[in-house]
A and B are shown apart, each in its own frame.
Chain A
């Protein structure tokens, strides 16, 4: 109860920080908010060109490679950006935390949320892609009623990002090395997740390696999302159970370590 009341009092702060992050992100750039969908559009074109044409095979066996790639990239980008921002949030707001009492969890969570909103805006690109391919009739994606299920993988990803964000920002207060390590980890994650390739197109000889690929919750989440918006079919229920479970466990661990360590933050930042 006490926590809820405290949260209610400071909900304004969460709103202000989300607002600030979004407003400041593109301030001083001429195109401003346009970049939220211009950036994924341009990077997708680059990736489609490189992995679809230059390196050849990636696009074979995929219904619609640009949409396939965009789905994965948007989700991955949201996950990596929001967790990175959340990781540094406590350090970046050191000046406030040292001077005024504020519930500290506000910072990582609002950083994830502000990225979530820019992610939503960037979904416009996906909608444009889908409309474009449906209208031109070239490799149209199968749009069915299952597209209405697409918020499910998105919500699971949000829970996952908040959980991982809380864990990372707690670690980051004590070991700044996490900053650099996580940077490398995100690069690894980009290639471990079937974003530019299709998982059954890989010739995997080792069983262990294929288990590692499957264990990645980003794999289940992107697969589910693609089922909804690209293949137009029901997603695999195992993906749902696994990724939801993973997300909830990480949220639980995140809240736990954050709660246990938050009073020590001020001594280290």
Chain B
């Protein structure tokens, strides 16, 4: 068996919550000298162990504030874990928030190159994919319009089209399948399904159990920064439904 796609070992992520507000430099230094700056430690994730094999499609379920997005950010390399290690093999395409890398004064066409570069792809590569991206986003007539004049649906469509065009090894999806109208949603679901055939590894966050069942073969439940259940998608979804209806 080859190396797992994602391996998370004893990973914890801590944030400092300021217990008192220090809003100017003078106060900060005085408090620092008096050692009065206290932080409340907040462990968003605690001792996470997770191994994802290549080709696995893992759904991540959990209530708000359970640490789902933090986990995805750590795996995507945006956040550095406080403790433990995360090793990822392969090209990661994070779809955390579509269109985050857009510059609103830039036209759609220019943004395709910019966004592609943000994800680490060369101009040549994007040039090859350009027509595919434009066609998928259905924004042919808007390519020279600044993105600031786009509707949020158009933005999301363009973002999705770029992020999905790059054939990653690992796809990180954070509730992105709820964008656009029903037609586009179907299309993007179909696009992601077609990526599965190429053996892409997926991490999928959603509040919709149905979507998780449709897409994933495995699932985990996060609660207060800990993995409380992991296994086959059906079992876990059932358990999650129980948690939801039982008011926990």
The residue of chain A having its C-beta at the shortest distance from the C-beta of B28 within the complex is A175
Among the stretches A9-17, A66-74, A136-144, A206-214, the one at the interface with B is A9-17
Which A residues between 13 and 37 are near B, CB-CB below 8 angstroms?
13, 15-17, 20, 23-24, 27
Given that A20-B103, A24-B103 are known contacts, is A263 also in contact with B94, CB under 8 Å in the complex? Answer: no
Q: Give complex CA distance A42, B79 in Å.
A: 47
Q: Which of B80, B94, B103, B123 contacts A100 (CB 8 A)?
A: B94
Chain B CB count within 10 A is highest, among A15, A96, A266, for A96
Given that A20-B103, A101-B76, A101-B77 are known contacts, is A96 also in contact with B118, CB under 8 Å in the complex? Answer: yes
Asked if A260 lies at the interface with its beta carbon under 8 angstroms from chain B, I say no
Q: Which of A16, A24, A101 contacts B113 (CB 8 A)?
A: A16
Asked if B106 lies at the interface with its beta carbon under 8 angstroms from chain A, I say yes
Q: Give complex CA distance A101, B121 in Å.
A: 13
Q: Give complex CA distance A98, B78 in Å.
A: 6
Asked if A97 lies at the interface with its beta carbon under 8 angstroms from chain B, I say yes
A23 proximity list for chain B (CB < 8 A):
106, 110
Asked if B119 lies at the interface with its beta carbon under 8 angstroms from chain A, I say yes
Contact check, A20 vs B114: say whether CB atoms are below 8 A apart: yes
Q: Which of B94, B116, B123 contacts A99 (CB 8 A)?
A: B94
Given that A24-B106, A263-B80 are known contacts, is A100 also in contact with B113, CB under 8 Å in the complex? Answer: no
Q: Give complex CA distance A98, B101 in Å.
A: 10
A96 proximity list for chain B (CB < 8 A):
100-101, 118
Contact check, A97 vs B78: say whether CB atoms are below 8 A apart: yes
Q: How many residues of B contact A (CB 8 A)?
A: 29
Contact check, B76 vs A100: say whether CB atoms are below 8 A apart: yes
A177 proximity list for chain B (CB < 8 A):
24-25
Contact check, B105 vs A100: say whether CB atoms are below 8 A apart: no
Asked if B96 lies at the interface with its beta carbon under 8 angstroms from chain A, I say yes
Closest CB-CB distance, B98 to chain A, in whole Å? 9
Contact check, B123 vs A15: say whether CB atoms are below 8 A apart: yes
Q: Give complex CA distance A102, B76 in Å.
A: 10
Q: Give complex CA distance A53, B166 in Å.
A: 62
Contact check, B103 vs A13: say whether CB atoms are below 8 A apart: no
Q: Give complex CA distance A15, B94 in Å.
A: 22
| Per-position 1/0 for A254-269, Cβ under 8 A of B | 0000000001001100
Closest CB-CB distance, B106 to chain A, in whole Å? 6
Closest CB-CB distance, A176 to chain B, in whole Å? 10
Asked if B27 lies at the interface with its beta carbon under 8 angstroms from chain A, I say no
Asked if B152 lies at the interface with its beta carbon under 8 angstroms from chain A, I say no
Asked if A205 lies at the interface with its beta carbon under 8 angstroms from chain B, I say no
Contact check, B106 vs A20: say whether CB atoms are below 8 A apart: yes
Q: Give complex CA distance A63, B125 in Å.
A: 54
Q: Give complex CA distance A9, B122 in Å.
A: 8
Q: Give complex CA distance A101, B118 in Å.
A: 8
Q: Is the interface of A mostly helix, strand, loop or mixed?
A: helix
Given that A27-B105, A267-B15 are known contacts, is A12 also in contact with B100, CB under 8 Å in the complex? Answer: no
Closest CB-CB distance, B123 to chain A, in whole Å? 6
The residue of chain B having its C-beta at the shortest distance from the C-beta of A99 within the complex is B100
Q: Give complex CA distance A108, B97 in Å.
A: 24
Asked if B2 lies at the interface with its beta carbon under 8 angstroms from chain A, I say no
Q: Give complex CA distance A249, B162 in Å.
A: 41
Contact check, B100 vs A100: say whether CB atoms are below 8 A apart: yes
The residue of chain B having its C-beta at the shortest distance from the C-beta of A176 within the complex is B25
Contact check, B123 vs A12: say whether CB atoms are below 8 A apart: yes
The residue of chain B having its C-beta at the shortest distance from the C-beta of A264 within the complex is B80
Q: Give complex CA distance A223, B52 in Å.
A: 61
Asked if B151 lies at the interface with its beta carbon under 8 angstroms from chain A, I say no
The residue of chain B having its C-beta at the shortest distance from the C-beta of A11 within the complex is B122
A97 proximity list for chain B (CB < 8 A):
78
Closest CB-CB distance, A131 to chain B, in whole Å? 36
Q: Give complex CA distance A96, B115 in Å.
A: 10
Contact check, B117 vs A13: say whether CB atoms are below 8 A apart: yes
Contact check, B100 vs A98: say whether CB atoms are below 8 A apart: yes
Contact check, A100 vs B106: say whether CB atoms are below 8 A apart: no
Q: Which of A10, A95, A263 contacts B100 (CB 8 A)?
A: A95
B97 proximity list for chain A (CB < 8 A):
99
Q: Which of A16, A99, A266 contacts B114 (CB 8 A)?
A: A16
B110 proximity list for chain A (CB < 8 A):
20, 23
Closest CB-CB distance, A92 to chain B, in whole Å? 10
B116 proximity list for chain A (CB < 8 A):
12
Asked if B245 lies at the interface with its beta carbon under 8 angstroms from chain A, I say no
Please list 22 pairs of residues, one from A and one from B, whose beta carbons are closer than 8 Å in the complex, sorted by A's number: A9-B120, A12-B116, A12-B123, A13-B117, A13-B120, A15-B117, A20-B103, A20-B110, A20-B114, A23-B106, A23-B110, A24-B103, A95-B101, A96-B101, A98-B78, A100-B76, A100-B96, A100-B100, A101-B76, A101-B77, A266-B78, A267-B16
B residues with CB within 8 A of A: 15-16, 24-25, 76-80, 92, 94, 96-97, 100-101, 103, 105-106, 110, 113-114, 116-123
